Amino acid sequence: MELLNGNEVSNLIRASIKEEVLKRKAEGKKTPHLAAILVGADGASMTYVAAKEKDCIEVGFDSTVLRFDASISEEALIAEVEKINQDKNIDGLIVQLPLPKHINEKRITEAISYKKDVDGFHPMNVGMMFKGLKTFLPATPFGILKLIEHYQIETSGKNCVIIGRSDIVGKPMSALMLQKNCTVTVCHSKTKNLSDFTRQADIIIAAIGVPLFLKADMVKEGAVVIDVGITRVDNPTNKKGYSLKGDVDFEALASKCSFITPVPGGVGPMTRVGLLLNTLDAADLPK
């Protein structure tokens, strides 16, 4: 078994981004600039946005975080998005999800200029991705592709089973693995006899958010297992009061796999680097 070490690979990519930014600055080119909008005070969202800001600063990007009270109206939020759309100094914009219930996430996602949509959530970018055209890929699937490429994992002709059909991970991942010549199956909460599918899989990508869902008897010998799940599970013995658990029962599965991601330190850091790569690309798009 070989560990798919997201910390190590993401650090290599960060170093190359850092170098690229220095080169851009020396050549008088624009410094990439990411703006993030955070609405309300959801703990996980605050942590994610803080991490994204830290990542930007670390690689030499400019970073702006706009924070709004959870009571902001949908119209007022759209007006803020439009201001950033017009701002020639900002290359990429993300609105951290989830948003408060009175705000329609679809409307907000569609209000972001697709040229600044470094999350890759805008229908224009989703369409481009499905057609295999160059565009902003959603950060987690993008990060997973980078991990697969780094470890030179064979994909052509392989059976890939994706567990989960979210717009952010499962659906885009299915299109991207198809482009890598896999035979792709997407399983979800209504799938019957799910292990009949996973036992046939050469590559399994688990993205359902159910801690320790994938057990050893659901996986064939030699499979590649990629765990997108990262759920906070109460743990009073831990200083933070919780531990992070993936969708995969790592302890039970690891010896059976050819490659497996740990949680934490697998997909998580690759997602963060995916957003940085998109922001770097966004800096060269005409505004």
Interface ranges with ligand GUN (CB under 6 A): 94-97, 119, 139, 168
Strands 231-234 and 242-245 turn out to be: antiparallel
Q: What is the per-residue DSSP string for 137-176?
A: PPHHHHHHHHHHHHTT---TT-EEEEE---TTTHHHHHHH
CB of 40 to ligand GUN, least distance (A): 13
CB of 97 to ligand GUN, least distance (A): 4
Burial degree of 60 (CB within 10 A; 0-12, 13-18, 19+): middle
Cβ-based nearer residue to ligand GUN, 122 or 158: 122
Cβ-based nearer residue to ligand GUN, 129 or 224: 129
CB of 202 to ligand GUN, least distance (A): 27
Check if the beta carbon of residue 257 is closer than 8 Å to that of residue 248.
no
CB of 49 to ligand GUN, least distance (A): 9
Q: Is 252 helix (H, G, I), strand (E, B) or coil?
A: helix
CA dihedral (200, 203, 207, 208) in degrees, to 10, reads 10
Cβ-based nearer residue to ligand GUN, 46 or 216: 46
Query: Which of 77, 117, 84 lies closest to 275, judged by CA?
Result: 117
Q: Which active-site residues does the annotation give?
A: 52, 96, 119
Task: Please list the helix, strand and coil fractions of the chain in percent, rounded to the nearest 5, in that order.
Answer: 40, 15, 40
CB of 138 to ligand GUN, least distance (A): 7
Cβ-based nearer residue to ligand GUN, 223 or 275: 275
Cβ-based nearer residue to ligand GUN, 59 or 253: 59
Q: Is 7 helix (H, G, I), strand (E, B) or coil?
A: helix
Residue whose beta carbon is closest to ligand GUN: 97
* Helix segments in the chain, DSSP class H: 6-26, 43-59, 74-86, 105-111, 123-130, 139-150, 170-179, 194-198, 250-253, 267-282
